[in-house]
A and B are shown apart, each in its own frame.
Chain A
């Protein structure tokens, strides 16, 4: 905690060195950063990198195994698996960035309100958080999407609801500790209005923690989106999403296992890399978190 807070008011040069410390902490973290960078570039430049149209079906090339023309083979509709994987990285990274960000905004708002105002507000919000936390994320997501259905924004809403409790809990705890600080007391004493205190003094002081949490939850969002798509209640087909690739691959398991192998490896690699970076970030920012 203290290390994170300290890092917010150091000079930009020192900040860069923290990023450097995280990246070059271990060989594995450096590789993980490289992997994430590669996937981000793949997602951004998908139309130029992908060898084929990810939606183009061809009866001439159904269930092909990997070859020099189709590096990862084709699926039951003759679509190029590699191209679908590359476009799928767009879907995954998009959800990975957007959903935790939405959850961070809503969860932080709720958590700050609970922590700052206390009393009945705190009791109601805390009870709701506890209740939602009792459910595994995927189960919560399934319940909500049973009501909402699939589609991009619905999935964003589903993921957001699944992640809000986590952010709210941390924001509440951080706010509780910030609220004890003398500068808050001083602001109240000189008559600063409450919204101003929250925006100017509370939020900036807990933002570093929230941002760290957000980066860690990118991996969860990617996993959860893939799981929902796999269950058929996430990104609607034929749009390429890594979860969809595995779902469709399973329906064609006698035809070709390659879509499953490829998409699963992509999810595992990205999530593993983000987790490695997260571990390194925690070690650098909070050296007291204990030997793990």
Chain B
């Protein structure tokens, strides 16, 4: 198991390297002068030159590239152009909000999504199944920011059950502030994971070993939860990985809806203010998270299905 972990981590290194290169390319080589973007169209040539010198943008590209990689290794992205705070400090403040949101949403999505999917599969073409299908069709179509805004309007504004915005202070207040954003993302997750579980379980239920299990008189619950679900887990884990990644981008929109601190709202604010070092720092962290999630999913595969280990 440990060797698998090491192998997966080593495997992620070139990917990580490519991702960082991609971020570098996106921010430097694409059309548009970063100095001009940062300072606006009306900046004087002197201001532009000063900015380039300060941020190292006047160095040759290859040199900038290595500086960039070295900065990433040292986790040093400079200071925000607006607030003058260290970018690392801004990220360290915001990251826990995004992680807790992603974690809460995923937990809720799993707790409700998998049982709903199993029930729908077992009672195929009956009421629970039809309800599940209608729910997932809607969940695939409704944008996360719209769902969040509607929950906000109904439960925070109209019924005043939840706070309208912010991240909260202290553990309980933060948990209270977390409920609506987490439920927003979780509803979409239940739609996705529920449908996936249904399809996956249905496929397994038609297998020979299920018939064997039933034939030898295993109780129906044991057939479904021990024999079927366990074998249906692999596609669900793939889905879980996709859904975790979707949470990372969904968090951006939802954080904005609920005016909640977090990596996403920090990035969007940085883009709006053309805060170049902050944009670069948050994007690198997002990229790192994407790579980490992919490694974790790979690792989960090998835990769930021993056949992949070889």
Contacts and interface: CB of A to CB of B under 8 A. Distances in A.
A146 B279 contact: yes
Instruction: Sort chain B's interface into a size bin.
Output: 35 or more
Nearest to B202: A291
- Among A131, A136, A272, the one with the most B-chain Cβ atoms within 10 Å of its Cβ is A136
A134 B15 contact: yes
A127 interface: yes
Contacts of B212: none
A227 interface: yes
Interface residues of A, number: 44
Nearest to A267: B143
A232 B272 contact: yes
A292 interface: yes
Interface in B175-202: 199, 202
Contacts of A127: 18
B157 interface: yes
Contact of B256 (A144, A149, A231, A268): A231
Nearest to A261: B150
Contacts of A136: 245-246, 248-249, 290
A250 interface: yes
Nearest to A130: B15
A66 interface: no
B138 interface: yes
Interface string B238-252: 000000011011101
A143 B150 contact: no
Contacts, number: 125
A54 interface: no
B141 interface: yes
A147 B33 CA distance: 9
Centre residue among B142, B157, B279 by max chain A CB count within 10 A: B142
A125 B150 CA distance: 42
Contacts of A269: 141
A281 to B, nearest CB: 15
Contact of B23 (A143, A231, A271): A143
Contacts of A275: 137, 140-141
Contacts of A261: 150, 153
A146 B283 contact: yes
Contact of B142 (A135, A137, A232, A268): A268
Interface string A109-147: 000000000000000000100010011111100111111
A182 to B, nearest CB: 34
Contacts of A254: 157
B32 interface: yes
Give the dominant DSSP class at B's interface. Answer: helix
A79 interface: no
Given A142-B252, A272-B141, A135 B290 contact: yes
A139 B249 contact: yes
Given A147-B27, A253-B157, A276-B137, A268 B146 contact: yes
A233 B149 CA distance: 19
A230 interface: yes
Contacts of A232: 268, 271-272
A137 B283 CA distance: 14
Given A139-B249, A144-B26, A250 B37 contact: no
Contact of B149 (A135, A148, A227, A260): A260
A85 interface: no
B32 A147 contact: yes
Contacts of B252: 138-139, 142, 231
Nearest to A141: B249
A139 B143 contact: no
Contact of A142 (B22, B141, B267): B267
Given A134-B15, A146-B26, A268-B146, A233 B271 contact: yes
Interface in B249-270: 249-250, 252-253, 256-257, 267-268
Interface of A: 127, 131, 134-139, 142-149, 219, 223, 226-227, 230-233, 246, 249-250, 253-254, 257, 260-261, 263-264, 267-269, 271-272, 275-276, 290-292
24 contacts: A134-B15, A134-B290, A135-B245, A136-B246, A136-B249, A136-B290, A138-B249, A139-B248, A142-B267, A142-B271, A146-B27, A148-B30, A232-B271, A246-B149, A250-B149, A261-B150, A261-B153, A263-B146, A264-B150, A267-B142, A269-B141, A271-B140, A271-B141, A290-B203
Given A227-B253, A276-B137, 17 more contacts: A131-B15, A134-B15, A135-B287, A136-B246, A139-B248, A142-B252, A146-B271, A148-B30, A223-B143, A227-B143, A227-B145, A231-B252, A246-B146, A253-B152, A257-B157, A263-B146, A272-B141
